[in-house]
Amino acid sequence: LGEQSRQERHALVVMTDGRDVNSTAKLDEVIQLARQRETPIHTIGLGEAGKHQPVRTMLVLDKSGSMLDRGKISSLKKAATRYIDLLPERGAETSLITFSSVVSSAEEFSADKARLRRKVQAIQPSGDTAIYDGLWEALETMNAARVSQQGPAPREALILLTDGLDNRSRHQPDEIVERAKQDNVRIFTLGLGTGREVDTRVLSGLAQETGGQFFHVESQDRLTDVFEELSIALHDDGIDEQ
């Protein structure tokens, strides 16, 4: 529109049914440009108004030795980075835990995207697979953050990615489900590999029992799309009227 004749009146009509979680342009930049171009923007919000409830998520990522196969670790890093890039500027924080034979300690929840990206890029695969211990540590970390929470209680979710079968955990799936239900934490599970490489029954059960969703990702090329879908879905709670 900026290239049209100044003698014409310009206007934009925008209709949306959700909150923006994907743009690279900033709201203030758009408003400033519209003013410069003398172009009014008429907005239509279709649906319920957003509650602006904060969202807290934890990435629980498999870094066992098998993640070195066929470039899976590179796909994981790309996908997790995409998830972080799509976090809204306000009201969203995340952290990540990695697991192999042992489980890493989680850092505090953060909205610092650069810091989170560095954490992802530093992942180095080795060892066996302790899926359930990783989930248990993530739930413990969520609980610790909840105890010190100030302000509105956030919606909480865990996102688990694994490419194998658990062979190291002390905890069991039933314990994870019971604790997640008690804490009102949804678990979204991603099984990377064929049906013989991942336990689709257990992963599906963890998701269904806690109100999450299971994704069987047989092709690692699709991993980024799934993480993108999750980031948008988890943080989109309605129209941003402001």
124 with 63: CB under 8 angstroms? yes
**Under 8 Å CB-to-CB from 95, ≥6 apart: which residues?**
58, 59, 106, 107, 108, 109, 110, 116, 141
Round the average pLDDT of the chain to a whole number and report it. 93
pLDDT at 8: 83
**106-146 pLDDT per residue, tens:** 889 999 999 999 999 999 999 999 999 999 999 999 999 99
Is pLDDT larger for residue 25 or for residue 214? 214
* pLDDT at position 228 over 90: yes
Q: DSSP labels for 92-119?
A: EEEEEEEESSSBPPPPPPB--HHHHHHH
**57-112 pLDDT per residue, tens:** 999 999 999 999 989 999 999 999 999 998 988 889 999 999 999 999 988 999 99
pLDDT-derived band at 2, boundaries 50, 70, 90? low
pLDDT at 191: 97
135 with 162: CB under 8 angstroms? no
> φ, ψ for residue 239 (rounded to 5)?
-70, 135
Is pLDDT larger for residue 136 or for residue 151? 136
Residue type, 193: G
pLDDT at 4: 63
pLDDT at 35: 93
